[in-house]
Amino acid sequence: MSMVDPASAPAPGRSQRIHAAILAAAEEVFLRDGYVGASMDEVAKLAGASKQTVYKHFGSKQQLFIDLVTSMTVMTGDPVGHETVDASAPVAETLTAHAVEMLNAVLTPRILRLRRLVIGEANRFPELGKALFEHGPARAMAGVERRLRALVEAGALPDHDAATTAQHYNWLVMGAPLNAAMLLGDEAIPTPAKRRAHAKAAVAALLRSIGAPPAS
C-alpha cells in the first residue's frame, strides 16, 4: 500500500490534524531513540506525511523537538488547575489535592523520559531546558503563587511572601518523588497512596512555615 500524504486530501482543519499527527509521531520517535538517533524520515512515516510536509510545519529537527517539549509540558500542566482556588474549603485539603494533581501530572513514564532527554541535550540546546522550565516548574510556581495570594486575600492564610512560599511548595511537593523517579527509573514512581501521603506531609510543613493554623 502506498503512503498518501494527508496534505493532499482536502478536509476542514487538515493542517491542524497534520500538525498534531507529526507531534504525536515525534513524541514516539524522540522518546524512543533520543534526539541524535531520531530520524525525520521515521517521524514522517509514522505521521503518515511526507518529509517535506514535516519540514513545512516545523522547519527543522531542532524546532520540532523544541515544539514537542513545549507541547508536552503545556499539556501536562493544563489539567492541574493552577488558576482556580476554592477559598471556602479547608486550606490543607485544597492544597493537598492540588499537590496530588501536580505529582500525578509529572510522575508518568512519558514525562519522565522527556525530562531525562531534555536534560541530556540541555548543554547542546539550552532552549530545550528553557522551554521545559518555563512551561513546567516556572508555570507551576506562578500558578501556586496566584493561588496562595487568593487564599491570603480571602483570609484563609496569613499574609506572607507568596512568591518564595510557592518555590518552597514546589520543592516540598515535587523534590523527593521526582528525583527518585528520574534517577531510579519508573519503578520508583510512588503509588497513589504514597503520593497522597507525601502531598499531605508537604502541605503540613508548608503551612507550619508560614504560621498557618494546623488542619483540624
Alpha helix ranges (H) inside the chain: 14-37, 40-47, 51-58, 61-77, 91-106, 109-121, 126-135, 137-153, 162-184, 192-209
Q: Give the pLDDT band (50/70/90) at residue 89.
A: confident
Residue 125 near residue 39 (C-beta atoms within 8 A): no
The tens digit of pLDDT for each residue in 66-86 reads 899 889 988 887 766 555 677
Would you say residue 215 lies in a domain? no
Closest by CA to 168, choosing from 196, 202, 211, 135, is 202
Residues 76 and 170 in one domain: yes
CA angle centred on 198, ends 178 and 147, rounded to 5°: 85
**Residue 191 three-state SS:** coil
Instruction: Print the domain residue range for 157.
Output: 69-209
| Residue 197: CATH number of its domain | 1.10.357.10
Same domain, 97 and 128: yes
Taking only the tens place, the pLDDT of each residue in 93-124 is: 999 999 999 999 999 999 999 999 999 888 88
Quick one: which of 73, 29, 33, 66 has its CA closest to 51? 29
User: Which one, of 174, 39, 153, lies nearest residue 85 by Cα?
Assistant: 153
Say how many domains are in the chain.
2
> Do both 161 and 203 map to the same domain?
yes
* pLDDT confidence of residue 1: 35
* Stated pTM of the model: 0.82
Does residue 40 belong to any structural domain of this protein?
yes
Per-residue model confidence (pLDDT) at position 216: 54
